[in-house]
Structure 1
Protein backbone atom coordinates (compact mmCIF):
# COMPACT_ATOMS: atom_id res chain seq x y z
CA UNK A 1 0.00 0.00 0.00
CA UNK A 2 1.44 3.39 -1.03
CA UNK A 3 2.19 6.01 1.59
CA UNK A 4 -0.35 8.79 2.07
CA UNK A 5 0.60 12.09 0.46
CA UNK A 6 1.40 14.95 2.83
CA UNK A 7 -0.83 18.02 2.71
CA UNK A 8 0.34 21.59 3.27
CA UNK A 9 -2.35 24.20 3.83
CA UNK A 10 -1.01 27.57 2.67
CA UNK A 11 -2.50 30.94 3.50
CA UNK A 12 -1.62 34.63 3.10
CA UNK A 13 -3.21 36.90 5.69
CA UNK A 14 -3.26 40.48 6.91
CA UNK A 15 -5.20 41.68 9.95
CA UNK A 16 -7.33 38.51 10.04
CA UNK A 17 -7.10 37.64 13.76
CA UNK A 18 -10.90 37.53 14.03
CA UNK A 19 -11.46 35.11 11.14
CA UNK A 20 -8.39 32.91 11.47
CA UNK A 21 -9.48 30.59 14.32
CA UNK A 22 -12.39 29.03 12.38
CA UNK A 23 -10.40 28.84 9.15
CA UNK A 24 -7.47 27.09 10.84
CA UNK A 25 -9.74 24.80 12.85
CA UNK A 26 -11.32 23.59 9.60
CA UNK A 27 -7.91 22.40 8.34
CA UNK A 28 -6.37 21.29 11.65
CA UNK A 29 -6.12 17.75 10.25
CA UNK A 30 -3.54 18.81 7.60
CA UNK A 31 0.11 17.75 7.94
CA UNK A 32 1.23 21.36 8.14
CA UNK A 33 -0.24 24.85 7.95
CA UNK A 34 1.82 27.73 6.57
CA UNK A 35 0.68 31.32 7.13
CA UNK A 36 2.47 34.24 5.50
CA UNK A 37 1.62 37.37 7.50
CA UNK A 38 1.49 40.33 5.15
CA UNK A 39 2.28 43.05 7.68
CA UNK A 40 -0.61 42.69 10.13
CA UNK A 41 -1.24 45.26 12.85
CA UNK A 42 -3.40 42.93 14.93
CA UNK A 43 -2.80 39.52 16.53
CA UNK A 44 -2.87 37.56 13.25
CA UNK A 45 0.57 36.00 13.73
CA UNK A 46 -0.07 35.10 17.38
CA UNK A 47 -3.46 33.55 16.64
CA UNK A 48 -1.98 31.52 13.78
CA UNK A 49 0.78 30.15 16.01
CA UNK A 50 -1.74 29.26 18.71
CA UNK A 51 -3.52 27.08 16.16
CA UNK A 52 -0.37 25.24 15.17
CA UNK A 53 0.56 27.16 12.05
CA UNK A 54 4.07 27.95 10.91
CA UNK A 55 4.10 31.74 10.64
CA UNK A 56 6.39 33.76 8.38
CA UNK A 57 6.59 37.48 7.72
CA UNK A 58 6.10 38.85 4.24
CA UNK A 59 8.50 40.82 2.15
CA UNK A 60 7.34 44.05 0.52
CA UNK A 61 3.90 43.57 -1.05
CA UNK A 62 4.18 42.73 -4.75
CA UNK A 63 0.62 41.64 -5.47
CA UNK A 64 -1.52 38.62 -4.63
CA UNK A 65 0.14 36.28 -7.12
CA UNK A 66 3.69 36.77 -5.89
CA UNK A 67 2.55 36.74 -2.27
CA UNK A 68 1.00 33.31 -2.75
CA UNK A 69 4.22 32.15 -4.39
CA UNK A 70 6.22 33.33 -1.38
CA UNK A 71 3.88 31.56 1.01
CA UNK A 72 3.95 28.30 -0.95
CA UNK A 73 7.76 28.35 -1.04
CA UNK A 74 7.65 27.68 2.73
CA UNK A 75 5.54 24.53 2.33
CA UNK A 76 6.97 21.01 2.31
CA UNK A 77 3.92 18.84 1.56
CA UNK A 78 3.31 16.81 -1.56
CA UNK A 79 0.00 18.58 -2.14
CA UNK A 80 -0.92 22.22 -1.57
CA UNK A 81 -4.31 23.44 -0.37
CA UNK A 82 -4.43 27.21 -0.80
CA UNK A 83 -7.13 28.92 1.28
CA UNK A 84 -7.85 32.37 2.70
CA UNK A 85 -8.71 33.46 6.23
CA UNK A 86 -12.38 33.94 5.30
CA UNK A 87 -12.75 30.39 3.96
CA UNK A 88 -13.64 27.14 5.72
CA UNK A 89 -13.23 23.54 4.61
CA UNK A 90 -16.48 21.67 5.25
CA UNK A 91 -16.47 18.02 6.45
CA UNK A 92 -17.61 16.67 3.04
CA UNK A 93 -14.77 18.55 1.34
CA UNK A 94 -12.28 17.28 3.91
CA UNK A 95 -13.40 13.73 3.13
CA UNK A 96 -12.90 14.30 -0.60
CA UNK A 97 -9.43 15.78 -0.03
CA UNK A 98 -8.38 12.88 2.18
CA UNK A 99 -9.42 10.46 -0.55
CA UNK A 100 -7.09 12.30 -2.94
CA UNK A 101 -4.23 12.14 -0.44
CA UNK A 102 -4.68 8.38 -0.12
CA UNK A 103 -4.06 7.93 -3.85
CA UNK A 104 -0.62 7.66 -5.51
CA UNK A 105 0.87 11.04 -6.54
CA UNK A 106 -0.38 12.34 -9.88
CA UNK A 107 -0.01 15.54 -11.89
CA UNK A 108 -3.65 16.46 -11.29
CA UNK A 109 -5.26 19.72 -10.17
CA UNK A 110 -8.46 19.63 -8.15
CA UNK A 111 -11.16 22.28 -8.28
CA UNK A 112 -13.30 22.99 -5.24
CA UNK A 113 -16.91 24.06 -5.13
CA UNK A 114 -16.95 27.41 -3.28
CA UNK A 115 -20.10 28.56 -1.50
CA UNK A 116 -20.12 32.34 -1.05
CA UNK A 117 -21.82 34.21 1.79
CA UNK A 118 -23.40 37.57 0.94
CA UNK A 119 -25.13 39.54 3.70
CA UNK A 120 -26.23 36.51 5.67
CA UNK A 121 -27.11 34.25 2.75
CA UNK A 122 -25.03 31.58 1.02
CA UNK A 123 -25.83 32.43 -2.58
CA UNK A 124 -27.04 29.68 -4.90
CA UNK A 125 -27.16 31.77 -8.11
CA UNK A 126 -25.86 35.21 -9.25
CA UNK A 127 -22.70 33.59 -10.62
CA UNK A 128 -21.59 32.88 -7.06
CA UNK A 129 -22.46 29.18 -6.98
CA UNK A 130 -21.03 26.83 -7.93
CA UNK A 131 -17.93 29.02 -7.83
CA UNK A 132 -15.24 26.54 -8.85
CA UNK A 133 -11.71 27.42 -7.74
CA UNK A 134 -8.51 25.44 -8.33
CA UNK A 135 -6.98 25.24 -4.85
CA UNK A 136 -5.68 21.68 -4.38
CA UNK A 137 -2.65 20.83 -6.49
CA UNK A 138 0.83 19.24 -6.52
CA UNK A 139 3.58 21.37 -5.00
CA UNK A 140 5.49 21.77 -8.28
CA UNK A 141 2.70 24.01 -9.62
CA UNK A 142 2.31 27.63 -8.60
CA UNK A 143 0.33 30.86 -9.03
CA UNK A 144 1.00 33.45 -11.71
CA UNK A 145 2.35 36.95 -10.99
CA UNK A 146 -0.95 38.87 -11.28
CA UNK A 147 -1.38 41.75 -8.86
CA UNK A 148 -5.03 40.79 -8.39
CA UNK A 149 -7.31 38.01 -9.67
CA UNK A 150 -4.32 35.70 -9.58
CA UNK A 151 -4.73 32.14 -10.79
CA UNK A 152 -2.96 28.80 -10.68
CA UNK A 153 -0.74 27.94 -13.63
CA UNK A 154 -1.79 24.35 -14.30
CA UNK A 155 0.81 23.69 -17.03
CA UNK A 156 -1.77 21.60 -18.87
CA UNK A 157 -2.51 19.29 -15.94
CA UNK A 158 -5.97 17.69 -15.93
CA UNK A 159 -8.49 19.32 -13.59
CA UNK A 160 -10.79 17.10 -11.51
CA UNK A 161 -13.79 18.35 -9.55
CA UNK A 162 -14.10 17.43 -5.90
CA UNK A 163 -17.31 17.02 -3.95
CA UNK A 164 -18.09 19.17 -0.93
CA UNK A 165 -17.99 22.94 -0.43
CA UNK A 166 -15.36 25.45 0.51
CA UNK A 167 -17.36 28.03 2.43
CA UNK A 168 -16.36 31.62 1.71
CA UNK A 169 -17.47 34.42 4.02
CA UNK A 170 -17.28 36.84 1.13
CA UNK A 171 -19.43 39.67 2.45
CA UNK A 172 -20.45 39.91 6.10
CA UNK A 173 -20.27 43.71 6.14
CA UNK A 174 -21.26 45.57 2.98
CA UNK A 175 -19.10 48.64 3.63
CA UNK A 176 -16.00 46.57 4.35
CA UNK A 177 -16.72 44.44 1.29
CA UNK A 178 -17.00 47.51 -0.94
CA UNK A 179 -13.72 48.89 0.39
CA UNK A 180 -12.05 45.65 -0.64
CA UNK A 181 -13.76 45.83 -4.03
CA UNK A 182 -12.42 49.36 -4.52
CA UNK A 183 -8.89 48.15 -3.75
CA UNK A 184 -9.30 45.28 -6.21
CA UNK A 185 -10.60 47.69 -8.85
CA UNK A 186 -7.60 49.97 -8.36
CA UNK A 187 -5.15 47.06 -8.65
CA UNK A 188 -6.97 45.76 -11.75
CA UNK A 189 -6.79 49.18 -13.41
CA UNK A 190 -3.11 49.61 -12.56
CA UNK A 191 -2.26 46.20 -13.99
CA UNK A 192 -4.16 46.82 -17.24
CA UNK A 193 -2.68 50.31 -17.56
CA UNK A 194 0.86 48.95 -17.18
CA UNK A 195 0.09 46.53 -20.02
CA UNK A 196 -0.95 49.41 -22.26
CA UNK A 197 -4.69 48.76 -22.06
CA UNK A 198 -7.20 51.61 -22.29
CA UNK A 199 -10.95 52.16 -22.48
CA UNK A 200 -13.37 54.89 -23.54
CA UNK A 201 -16.37 56.46 -21.84
CA UNK A 202 -18.83 54.27 -23.73
CA UNK A 203 -16.94 51.16 -22.66
CA UNK A 204 -17.23 52.19 -18.99
CA UNK A 205 -21.01 52.38 -19.07
CA UNK A 206 -21.60 49.41 -21.39
CA UNK A 207 -19.53 47.15 -19.12
CA UNK A 208 -21.31 48.52 -16.05
CA UNK A 209 -24.77 47.85 -17.45
CA UNK A 210 -23.66 44.48 -18.74
CA UNK A 211 -22.43 43.45 -15.27
CA UNK A 212 -25.78 44.35 -13.71
CA UNK A 213 -27.86 42.44 -16.28
CA UNK A 214 -25.50 39.47 -16.29
CA UNK A 215 -25.74 39.04 -12.51
CA UNK A 216 -29.47 39.64 -12.20
CA UNK A 217 -30.80 37.90 -15.32
CA UNK A 218 -28.27 35.67 -17.07
CA UNK A 219 -27.00 34.28 -13.76
CA UNK A 220 -30.48 34.27 -12.21
CA UNK A 221 -29.55 36.58 -9.34
CA UNK A 222 -33.22 37.41 -8.83
CA UNK A 223 -33.64 33.88 -7.43
CA UNK A 224 -31.35 34.85 -4.55
CA UNK A 225 -33.96 37.32 -3.31
CA UNK A 226 -33.03 40.75 -1.97
CA UNK A 227 -29.36 39.79 -1.75
CA UNK A 228 -29.40 38.94 -5.45
CA UNK A 229 -30.65 42.40 -6.39
CA UNK A 230 -28.12 44.11 -4.14
CA UNK A 231 -25.30 41.96 -5.48
CA UNK A 232 -26.23 42.88 -9.06
CA UNK A 233 -25.82 46.55 -8.16
CA UNK A 234 -22.58 45.88 -6.27
CA UNK A 235 -21.14 43.99 -9.25
CA UNK A 236 -22.12 46.85 -11.54
CA UNK A 237 -20.47 49.34 -9.19
CA UNK A 238 -17.29 47.26 -9.05
CA UNK A 239 -17.19 47.09 -12.84
CA UNK A 240 -17.71 50.85 -13.08
CA UNK A 241 -14.84 51.43 -10.64
CA UNK A 242 -12.50 49.19 -12.64
CA UNK A 243 -13.09 50.73 -16.02
CA UNK A 244 -13.42 54.33 -14.86
CA UNK A 245 -10.13 53.97 -12.94
CA UNK A 246 -8.44 52.64 -16.08
CA UNK A 247 -9.87 55.52 -18.12
CA UNK A 248 -8.69 58.03 -15.49
CA UNK A 249 -5.14 56.64 -15.46
CA UNK A 250 -4.84 56.98 -19.21
CA UNK A 251 -6.52 60.41 -19.22
CA UNK A 252 -4.21 61.71 -16.50
CA UNK A 253 -1.07 60.36 -18.18
CA UNK A 254 -2.08 61.92 -21.50
CA UNK A 255 -2.65 65.31 -19.88
CA UNK A 256 0.74 65.07 -18.21
CA UNK A 257 2.43 64.84 -21.61
CA UNK A 258 0.71 67.95 -22.97
Structure 2
Protein backbone atom coordinates (compact mmCIF):
# COMPACT_ATOMS: atom_id res chain seq x y z
CA UNK A 1 0.00 0.00 0.00
CA UNK A 2 1.37 3.43 -0.95
CA UNK A 3 2.40 5.83 1.77
CA UNK A 4 -0.01 8.76 2.03
CA UNK A 5 1.55 12.20 1.76
CA UNK A 6 0.59 14.71 4.45
CA UNK A 7 -1.20 17.96 3.60
CA UNK A 8 -0.91 21.57 4.75
CA UNK A 9 -3.75 23.89 3.77
CA UNK A 10 -2.35 27.43 3.55
CA UNK A 11 -4.53 30.55 3.59
CA UNK A 12 -3.70 34.26 3.58
CA UNK A 13 -6.40 36.50 5.00
CA UNK A 14 -7.32 39.99 6.13
CA UNK A 15 -10.68 40.89 7.67
CA UNK A 16 -12.28 37.63 6.54
CA UNK A 17 -14.12 36.67 9.75
CA UNK A 18 -17.38 36.29 7.85
CA UNK A 19 -15.85 33.75 5.46
CA UNK A 20 -13.22 31.83 7.38
CA UNK A 21 -15.47 29.42 9.27
CA UNK A 22 -16.94 27.69 6.19
CA UNK A 23 -13.58 27.73 4.44
CA UNK A 24 -11.81 26.02 7.33
CA UNK A 25 -14.64 23.56 7.87
CA UNK A 26 -14.34 22.44 4.24
CA UNK A 27 -10.70 21.39 4.84
CA UNK A 28 -10.85 20.24 8.47
CA UNK A 29 -9.68 16.80 7.27
CA UNK A 30 -6.22 18.17 6.35
CA UNK A 31 -3.19 17.35 8.51
CA UNK A 32 -2.48 21.02 9.13
CA UNK A 33 -4.12 24.37 8.41
CA UNK A 34 -2.01 27.53 8.27
CA UNK A 35 -3.62 30.99 8.31
CA UNK A 36 -1.40 34.02 7.78
CA UNK A 37 -3.24 37.18 8.77
CA UNK A 38 -2.01 40.50 7.40
CA UNK A 39 -3.48 42.76 10.07
CA UNK A 40 -7.20 42.09 10.50
CA UNK A 41 -9.31 44.26 12.79
CA UNK A 42 -12.38 42.00 12.72
CA UNK A 43 -11.02 39.13 14.82
CA UNK A 44 -10.08 36.92 11.87
CA UNK A 45 -6.86 35.71 13.48
CA UNK A 46 -8.51 34.76 16.76
CA UNK A 47 -11.36 33.02 14.91
CA UNK A 48 -8.95 30.98 12.80
CA UNK A 49 -7.04 29.92 15.89
CA UNK A 50 -10.25 28.95 17.69
CA UNK A 51 -11.13 26.70 14.74
CA UNK A 52 -7.85 24.82 15.02
CA UNK A 53 -5.69 26.63 12.46
CA UNK A 54 -2.06 27.49 13.18
CA UNK A 55 -2.33 31.26 12.98
CA UNK A 56 0.41 33.78 12.28
CA UNK A 57 0.41 37.54 11.69
CA UNK A 58 2.55 39.34 9.13
CA UNK A 59 1.67 42.99 8.47
CA UNK A 60 4.65 43.93 6.29
CA UNK A 61 2.62 43.66 3.09
CA UNK A 62 4.77 43.38 -0.05
CA UNK A 63 2.18 41.97 -2.40
CA UNK A 64 0.14 38.79 -2.75
CA UNK A 65 3.01 36.72 -4.09
CA UNK A 66 5.38 37.42 -1.23
CA UNK A 67 2.58 37.00 1.32
CA UNK A 68 1.85 33.53 -0.05
CA UNK A 69 5.56 32.72 0.10
CA UNK A 70 5.60 33.79 3.75
CA UNK A 71 2.50 31.74 4.54
CA UNK A 72 3.94 28.64 2.90
CA UNK A 73 7.13 28.99 4.94
CA UNK A 74 5.07 27.97 8.00
CA UNK A 75 3.78 24.78 6.35
CA UNK A 76 5.41 21.60 7.69
CA UNK A 77 3.64 18.86 5.69
CA UNK A 78 4.56 17.15 2.41
CA UNK A 79 2.03 18.87 0.19
CA UNK A 80 0.49 22.36 0.12
CA UNK A 81 -3.07 23.22 -0.83
CA UNK A 82 -3.22 27.01 -1.24
CA UNK A 83 -6.65 28.55 -0.64
CA UNK A 84 -8.36 31.90 -0.15
CA UNK A 85 -10.90 32.56 2.59
CA UNK A 86 -13.71 32.86 0.04
CA UNK A 87 -13.09 29.37 -1.35
CA UNK A 88 -14.55 26.02 -0.26
CA UNK A 89 -13.43 22.50 -1.13
CA UNK A 90 -16.35 20.35 -2.27
CA UNK A 91 -16.62 16.66 -1.26
CA UNK A 92 -15.81 15.55 -4.82
CA UNK A 93 -12.70 17.72 -4.89
CA UNK A 94 -11.67 16.38 -1.49
CA UNK A 95 -11.80 12.83 -2.90
CA UNK A 96 -9.54 13.88 -5.77
CA UNK A 97 -7.07 15.48 -3.38
CA UNK A 98 -7.06 12.44 -1.10
CA UNK A 99 -6.30 10.24 -4.12
CA UNK A 100 -3.38 12.51 -5.05
CA UNK A 101 -1.93 12.23 -1.56
CA UNK A 102 -1.78 8.46 -1.95
CA UNK A 103 -0.50 8.35 -5.53
CA UNK A 104 1.37 11.68 -5.63
CA UNK A 105 4.19 12.42 -8.02
CA UNK A 106 6.18 15.33 -6.57
CA UNK A 107 7.18 16.48 -10.05
CA UNK A 108 3.52 17.14 -10.91
CA UNK A 109 1.41 20.19 -10.01
CA UNK A 110 -2.35 19.75 -9.63
CA UNK A 111 -4.88 22.29 -10.84
CA UNK A 112 -8.30 22.90 -9.31
CA UNK A 113 -11.33 24.07 -11.28
CA UNK A 114 -13.08 26.99 -9.61
CA UNK A 115 -16.83 27.51 -9.80
CA UNK A 116 -17.23 31.25 -9.35
CA UNK A 117 -20.19 33.05 -7.77
CA UNK A 118 -21.25 36.35 -9.33
CA UNK A 119 -24.27 38.23 -7.98
CA UNK A 120 -26.09 35.11 -6.82
CA UNK A 121 -25.23 32.85 -9.76
CA UNK A 122 -22.45 30.29 -10.15
CA UNK A 123 -21.13 31.13 -13.60
CA UNK A 124 -20.74 28.29 -16.10
CA UNK A 125 -19.48 30.42 -18.99
CA UNK A 126 -18.01 33.94 -19.45
CA UNK A 127 -14.49 32.56 -19.05
CA UNK A 128 -15.22 31.95 -15.36
CA UNK A 129 -15.49 28.17 -15.51
CA UNK A 130 -13.65 25.99 -14.86
CA UNK A 131 -11.19 28.84 -14.12
CA UNK A 132 -8.35 26.44 -13.31
CA UNK A 133 -5.72 27.45 -10.76
CA UNK A 134 -2.54 25.60 -9.77
CA UNK A 135 -2.97 25.12 -6.03
CA UNK A 136 -1.85 21.62 -4.96
CA UNK A 137 1.86 20.85 -5.06
CA UNK A 138 4.89 19.44 -3.23
CA UNK A 139 5.83 21.79 -0.39
CA UNK A 140 9.61 21.63 -0.80
CA UNK A 141 9.57 21.93 -4.57
CA UNK A 142 7.43 24.89 -5.63
CA UNK A 143 6.88 28.50 -4.55
CA UNK A 144 4.81 31.46 -5.67
CA UNK A 145 6.28 34.25 -7.78
CA UNK A 146 6.80 37.76 -6.36
CA UNK A 147 3.79 39.29 -8.14
CA UNK A 148 2.05 42.20 -6.42
CA UNK A 149 -1.35 40.96 -7.63
CA UNK A 150 -2.78 38.03 -9.64
CA UNK A 151 0.05 35.99 -8.19
CA UNK A 152 0.97 32.69 -9.80
CA UNK A 153 2.81 29.55 -8.82
CA UNK A 154 6.28 29.14 -10.31
CA UNK A 155 5.66 25.81 -12.03
CA UNK A 156 9.23 25.46 -13.34
CA UNK A 157 7.80 23.84 -16.45
CA UNK A 158 6.25 20.98 -14.48
CA UNK A 159 3.43 18.84 -15.79
CA UNK A 160 0.05 20.10 -14.60
CA UNK A 161 -2.76 17.61 -13.94
CA UNK A 162 -6.38 18.74 -13.64
CA UNK A 163 -8.33 17.34 -10.68
CA UNK A 164 -12.00 16.41 -10.71
CA UNK A 165 -14.40 18.31 -8.46
CA UNK A 166 -15.07 22.01 -8.02
CA UNK A 167 -13.50 24.58 -5.76
CA UNK A 168 -16.38 26.91 -4.88
CA UNK A 169 -15.27 30.53 -5.10
CA UNK A 170 -17.57 33.14 -3.57
CA UNK A 171 -16.11 35.81 -5.82
CA UNK A 172 -18.79 38.47 -5.80
CA UNK A 173 -21.14 38.31 -2.83
CA UNK A 174 -21.28 42.08 -2.30
CA UNK A 175 -21.07 44.18 -5.46
CA UNK A 176 -19.48 47.23 -3.85
CA UNK A 177 -16.85 45.18 -2.03
CA UNK A 178 -16.12 43.36 -5.29
CA UNK A 179 -15.69 46.65 -7.14
CA UNK A 180 -13.35 48.02 -4.47
CA UNK A 181 -11.24 44.89 -4.76
CA UNK A 182 -11.19 45.17 -8.55
CA UNK A 183 -10.04 48.78 -8.32
CA UNK A 184 -7.27 47.77 -5.92
CA UNK A 185 -6.18 44.99 -8.27
CA UNK A 186 -6.13 47.41 -11.20
CA UNK A 187 -3.92 49.81 -9.25
CA UNK A 188 -1.52 47.03 -8.26
CA UNK A 189 -1.41 45.71 -11.84
CA UNK A 190 -0.65 49.14 -13.29
CA UNK A 191 2.02 49.81 -10.67
CA UNK A 192 3.75 46.51 -11.34
CA UNK A 193 3.67 47.02 -15.10
CA UNK A 194 4.91 50.59 -14.79
CA UNK A 195 7.79 49.53 -12.53
CA UNK A 196 8.72 46.97 -15.19
CA UNK A 197 9.05 49.81 -17.73
CA UNK A 198 5.72 49.24 -19.51
CA UNK A 199 3.57 52.04 -20.92
CA UNK A 200 0.41 52.24 -23.00
CA UNK A 201 -1.14 54.72 -25.39
CA UNK A 202 -4.56 56.33 -25.31
CA UNK A 203 -5.89 54.13 -28.11
CA UNK A 204 -4.68 51.02 -26.26
CA UNK A 205 -7.01 51.87 -23.37
CA UNK A 206 -10.03 51.85 -25.67
CA UNK A 207 -9.13 48.74 -27.66
CA UNK A 208 -8.35 46.66 -24.57
CA UNK A 209 -11.60 47.78 -22.91
CA UNK A 210 -13.75 46.89 -25.92
CA UNK A 211 -11.82 43.64 -26.35
CA UNK A 212 -12.50 42.63 -22.74
CA UNK A 213 -16.25 43.09 -23.22
CA UNK A 214 -16.36 41.15 -26.49
CA UNK A 215 -14.20 38.35 -25.13
CA UNK A 216 -16.46 37.84 -22.09
CA UNK A 217 -19.84 38.32 -23.76
CA UNK A 218 -19.23 36.71 -27.16
CA UNK A 219 -16.07 34.57 -27.35
CA UNK A 220 -16.55 33.08 -23.89
CA UNK A 221 -20.34 32.76 -24.29
CA UNK A 222 -21.23 35.11 -21.45
CA UNK A 223 -24.68 35.49 -23.01
CA UNK A 224 -25.41 31.95 -21.77
CA UNK A 225 -25.03 33.18 -18.18
CA UNK A 226 -28.07 35.43 -18.50
CA UNK A 227 -28.22 38.84 -16.88
CA UNK A 228 -25.16 38.12 -14.78
CA UNK A 229 -23.22 37.30 -17.94
CA UNK A 230 -23.95 40.71 -19.42
CA UNK A 231 -23.12 42.48 -16.17
CA UNK A 232 -19.88 40.53 -15.85
CA UNK A 233 -18.88 41.53 -19.39
CA UNK A 234 -19.37 45.17 -18.43
CA UNK A 235 -17.47 44.71 -15.16
CA UNK A 236 -14.57 43.03 -16.96
CA UNK A 237 -14.47 45.90 -19.45
CA UNK A 238 -14.50 48.40 -16.60
CA UNK A 239 -11.69 46.57 -14.81
CA UNK A 240 -9.63 46.50 -18.00
CA UNK A 241 -10.26 50.21 -18.54
CA UNK A 242 -9.07 50.95 -14.99
CA UNK A 243 -5.89 48.93 -15.48
CA UNK A 244 -4.81 50.55 -18.72
CA UNK A 245 -6.01 54.04 -17.82
CA UNK A 246 -3.97 53.84 -14.59
CA UNK A 247 -0.90 52.68 -16.50
CA UNK A 248 -1.39 55.51 -19.01
CA UNK A 249 -1.77 58.02 -16.17
CA UNK A 250 1.42 56.83 -14.46
CA UNK A 251 3.31 57.36 -17.69
CA UNK A 252 1.85 60.81 -18.12
CA UNK A 253 2.84 61.86 -14.61
CA UNK A 254 6.51 61.24 -15.34
CA UNK A 255 6.51 63.30 -18.51
CA UNK A 256 4.96 66.45 -17.08
> TM-score, normalised to structure 2's length?
0.98
- The answer to whether the 8 A contact 1:8-1:33 is kept is yes
Q: Which residue of 2 aligns with 1:166?
A: 167
Residue by residue, what CA displacement relative to the aligned partner does 1:37-65 show, whole Å, maximum 9, x if unpaired?
01111110011011110000114100000
Residue by residue, what CA displacement relative to the aligned partner does 1:80-99 show, whole Å, maximum 9, x if unpaired?
00000000000000000000
Residue by residue, what CA displacement relative to the aligned partner does 1:134-171 show, whole Å, maximum 9, x if unpaired?
00001120100000011001112111110000000000
Structure 2 unaligned spans of 5+: none
1:173: how far off?
A: 1.0
1:183 and 2:175 matched: no
Alignment of 1:1-258 (within 5 A): 1-139=1-139, 140-255=141-256
| Structure 1 residue ranges, 4+ long, deviating more than 3 angstroms after superposition | none
Task: Give the aligned CA root-mean-square deviation in angstroms.
Answer: 0.8
1:2: how far off?
A: 3.1
Is 151-160 or 189-198 further displaced after alignment?
151-160
1:23: how far off?
A: 0.2
- The answer to whether the 8 A contact 2:34-2:75 is kept is yes
Question: 2: distance between equivalents of 1:192 and 1:92?
Answer: 38
When the two structures are aligned, how many residues end up with a matched partner?
A: 255
Question: 1: distance between equivalents of 2:78 and 2:105?
Answer: 8
Structure 1 unaligned spans of 5+: none
Question: 2: distance between equivalents of 1:191 and 1:100?
Answer: 35
